[in-house]
Copies of this chain bind each other. A is one copy, B any other.
Amino acid sequence: MLTLEKIQAAKIKLAPYIYETPVIRLYGLDDILGCNVFIKAENMQKTNSFKLRGALNKMLSMPIEQLQNGVIAASSGNHGKGVAYAAKLLNIQATIVLPDTAPIVKVEGIRALGANVVLCKLAERHAVTERLSVAHNYAIIHPYDDYHIMAGQGTVGLEILEQLPHVDTIVVPMGGGGLISGVATAIKSLAPHVKVIGAEPAVVSRYAKSLKAGERLLVEEQKSLADALLTLQPGERNFPIVQKLVDRVVSVEEDFLYSGMKTLLLDGKQLAEPSSSIGIGAALQGIVPIKKNDNVCFLISGGNVGLNQLQTL
């Protein structure tokens, strides 16, 4: 089970290793988005994404016997970079299974940390991970469907509340649901009046559809600019938490993924991944329930984006 206490314990455990990333007031976006705009800048986190929090919390919680043969993780890139960083810190070997469509900057970032990279088709990444895990006795570090992972990600929520006590709404990018499960648990335990809104790409709206159906649906694979949010089914442990605690999940069209990233870069002066500026895109699309003078914190989940990707703008 995921509890506030587990997230608070994760915060203490992680403190020596991660950055307390800033909450930044972006006045320049207020008129554009129609609220008081803040971001929680996890694009500036070590490894340039929030994923390190969960990966490290998980690995620090595992007995050494489980870790000594090495770890393996399926990832679109950021979780892999987090696992690779944590493995380097703990002096163990990491193998990261990435889709062959992963951005170069992510693949190179993981290799630079000394991890092995295995490329495969997007839909096969979990199967490949499973197979290699059995063959080599690697411990699997799941990207989201794990309470230690969620507890680590939830520390972002604790920080937002400390740094911005008057926050009204937090907008969180959603893939498998690890980040929003942790954040919503932290927020709803300590400040239940704060709204938690999830944003996922419209082309793979696995949470919106599953919430409507009342069960975890598997959606069809699609291309999206949001390369980090392509998971096809809500996590088993994540889904009930999202059902219970998240106020609304919104589906963001591809056009607004582009304009979200562009607005954050050109008007906000912040470089983030398309997947991470999805909340800004959602607000531009007009689907986030916010109003003037609301203090809205957009969780900018990662910043692993190459100059080559900027050319698509």
Contact = CB atoms under 8 A, between A and B. Distances in A.
Interface in A233-288: 265-266, 268-272
A29 B265 CA distance: 19
A44 B22 contact: no
Contact of A271 (B48, B265, B307): B265
A269 B271 CA distance: 5
Given A270-B271, A307-B266, A25 B26 contact: no
Interface in A92-149: none
A231 interface: no
B269 A43 contact: yes
A52 to B, nearest CB: 12
Contacts of A43: 269
Chain B CB count within 10 A is highest, among A28, A46, A272, for A28
Contacts of A307: 266, 310, 313
A17 interface: no
Copies of this chain, count: 2
B270 A269 contact: yes
A118 to B, nearest CB: 26
B24 A22 contact: yes
A46 B19 CA distance: 29
A222 interface: no
A41 interface: yes
Contacts of A310: 307, 310
A173 B86 CA distance: 38
Interface in A28-55: 28, 41, 43-44, 46, 48
Contact of A22 (B19, B25, B265, B271): B25
Interface in A210-249: none
A61 interface: no
Contact of A27 (B19, B25, B269, B270): B19
A270 B43 CA distance: 10
A44 B43 CA distance: 17
A22 B37 CA distance: 13
A303 interface: yes
- By Cβ-Cβ distance, the 8 closest A-B pairs, closest first, are A269-B271, A19-B27, A269-B303, A43-B269, A44-B269, A22-B24, A265-B271, A307-B313
Given A26-B44, A44-B269, 16 more contacts: A19-B28, A22-B22, A22-B24, A27-B46, A28-B46, A41-B269, A44-B268, A48-B269, A265-B271, A266-B271, A269-B270, A269-B272, A270-B270, A270-B271, A307-B313, A311-B311
